[in-house]
Every structure is written in C-alpha cells, then in structure tokens.
C-alpha cells in the first residue's frame, strides 16, 4: 500500500501496471498537473472538470470505472474559528486520489497510521481517508463548544451588561458555525449513504445476472434428469448427448448473453454519470 503526495507520473504508471493499490494526495495542484495525473489514472473527463473547480456542493458522481465524491472536513483558521475544507475524492479499484486546495492537516495522522499499520484492502484505505475528514468536523465542533463554555463561564462569574452584549455577539457567531457544521455533517452523511446504495445496487445487479443465467440451465438440467422411460430410451446415442444435452445448454447460455448485451445490463452502453 503506497501513500504519495508528489505526482510522479512514471511511478504512477508503474503502480498501475503492477496493480498495486495506492493513495495519492494532491494539495493545490495546477490545471496542467491535474490533467497529467488524470490521463495516467484514466479519470473521466467530467470528473476532471469537476475537480478543477472548487466551491461545489457535497455529491457523489459515478462513472464507468471510478467515482467522484465531493466531501467536506473542517479546519481551524488562525483565529480558532472553524471553516469548511472541501476535498475531492476519486475512488477506483486500484487507487484513491484526494485533491485539496491546500495542504490537508486532516490527512497527516492518516499518513502516519498507514506507515505504522498499513491497511489490508483498498476499502480500508478509503475508510481511513473519509473517517479523518469526518473526525475533523467533530473536532471543530468540540472547539466551538469549548469556546461557548468559556463565554458562559465569564457571564456567570461577572454578569455585567457589557459582558452580556459581547457574549450575545459571540453566541450568534458560534451558532452560525454550528449550523454550518451541522449542515456539512448532514450533506456528508447523505453523500456516504448514496455511495453505499450505489455499491449495493451494483452487487444486487450482478447477483441478478448470475441468477438469470443459471435459472434456465437449472430447468433444462432438471427436465433431462427426470427418470422417464421415454427420455431414457430416446436419449442414448452420442450425438443426442452432445446435441441435445450440451448443445441445449450452450444455446441457452448464448441466448441469455445476447439478451443481456442488447438490454444494456452487461457489456452494453456505458451508463450516464449521475449529475
């Protein structure tokens, strides 16, 4: 499991060729750098277009070979006030790419944990990335809560009118931050729920395809497996075994495959990404 912060194109090509899962974290990349990385990783054109523009809402877009998750964390600015941190997370079978406007403080602990205890699967790596962003929101909310507690203690100990007026302004500011944080948490939860539902739908669709393929084959096998005298006496020659038995299975499987391709359920036209 590799963790990269520098877009070395040759190294990325090598990792892709070997099928080795990696996490690439880019902080404020230029348009040219991002385009080169997207070309090596095979990102969809619409995914690249969205990643080049920040200030988007939380969302999950699915493409034929990857997903783009616009997720939010939180960070503290110089005045100890929280501000949202927008992160674009590209998820694929072979990598996870995160793009930030600036160096992500939220991912420092993740990189250290990967070095100390590498994740066993790519899904575990993706979980650590999203978990770090979610934890940053909770930490920001705890900081705001501590500030509110400090203002409350000042008002209780020294209940002056000027203190109440000053505290009211601070309280309004804290309330605004809490409402924004709550909204970011809700939107992030909805994005994660959408990603889980998309994955669940893909699994259910593949199971349906498998069941569709084996259903008529099971019927044919059960029919010819019945011990009727007519079947036993009329299916004896070699040509009958290969023609009626094996041939019937092959023809049924081919017909199902053609139907699946024409219906677009498998190997047909690519699905349109969700916008």
Domain-located, residue 227: no
Q: What percent of the chain has pLDDT over 70?
A: 69
Examine the pLDDT at 165 and tell me if it is beyond 70. no
Nearest to 24 by CA among 43, 3, 53: 3
* pLDDT tens figures, 86-118: 999 999 989 999 998 877 777 888 888 888 888
Which whole number is the average pLDDT over 48-58? Answer: 89
Domain-located, residue 193: yes
* pLDDT tens figures, 218-239: 776 776 666 656 666 665 666 6
pLDDT of residue 15: 93
Domain-located, residue 137: yes
Cβ atoms of 151 and 169 within 8 Å: the answer is: no
Hey, is 84 helix, strand or coil?
A: strand
Domain-located, residue 143: yes
pLDDT of residue 140: 77
Domain-located, residue 210: no
| Dihedral-angle region of residue 5 (phi above 0 means left; psi in -120 to 50 means alpha; beta otherwise) | alpha
Task: Tell me, yes or no, if the pTM score tops 0.85.
Answer: no
Domain-located, residue 214: no
Number of structural domains, the chain? 1
Domain-located, residue 65: yes
Alpha helix (H) residue ranges in 99-159 = 108-116, 122-157
pLDDT of residue 44: 93
Domain-located, residue 129: yes
CATH code for the domain in which residue 18 is found: 3.30.460.20
- Strands (E) across 1-130 are located at 2-4, 22-27, 59-62, 66-76, 82-92, 95-100
**C-alpha torsion sign, points 104, 106, 112, 116:** negative
- Containing structural domain, residue 92: 2-199
Higher-confidence position of 167 and 88: 88
Examine the pLDDT at 185 and tell me if it is beyond 80. no
Please report which confidence band the pLDDT of residue 275 belongs to, taking 50, 70 and 90 as the band edges: very low
């Amino acid at each position: 499991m590799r963790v990269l912060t520098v877009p070395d194109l040759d190294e990325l090509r090598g990792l892709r060729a070997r099928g080795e899962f990696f996490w690439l974290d880019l902080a404020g990349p230029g348009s040219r750098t991002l385009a080169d990385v997207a070309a090596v990783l095979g990102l969809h054109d619409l995914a690249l277009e969205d990643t080049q523009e920040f200030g988007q809402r939380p969302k999950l877009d699915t493409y034929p070979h990857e997903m783009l998750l616009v997720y939010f964390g939180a960070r503290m600015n110089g005045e100890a006030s929280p501000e949202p941190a927008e992160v674009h997370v590209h998820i694929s079978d072979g990598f996870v790419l995160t793009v930030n406007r600036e160096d992500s403080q939220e991912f420092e602990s993740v990189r250290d944990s990967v070095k100390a205890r590498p994740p066993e699967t790519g899904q575990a790596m993706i979980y650590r990335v999203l978990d770090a962003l979610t934890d940053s929101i909770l930490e920001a909310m705890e900081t705001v809560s501590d500030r509110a507690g400090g203002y409350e203690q000042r008002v209780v100990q020294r209940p002056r009118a000027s203190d109440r007026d000053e505290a009211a302004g601070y309280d309004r500011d804290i309330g605004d931050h809490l409402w924004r944080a709550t909204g970011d948490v809700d939107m992030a939860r909805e994005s994660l729920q959408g990603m889980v539902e998309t994955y669940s739908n893909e699994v259910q669709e593949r199971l349906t395809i498998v069941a569709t393929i084996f259903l008529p084959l099971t019927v044919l096998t059960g029919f010819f497996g019945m011990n009727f005298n007519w079947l036993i006496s009329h299916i004896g020659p070699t040509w009958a075994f290969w023609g009626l038995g094996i041939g019937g299975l092959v023809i049924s499987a081919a017909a199902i495959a053609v139907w699946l391709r024409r219906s677009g359920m498998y190997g047909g036209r690519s699905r349109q990404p969700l916008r």
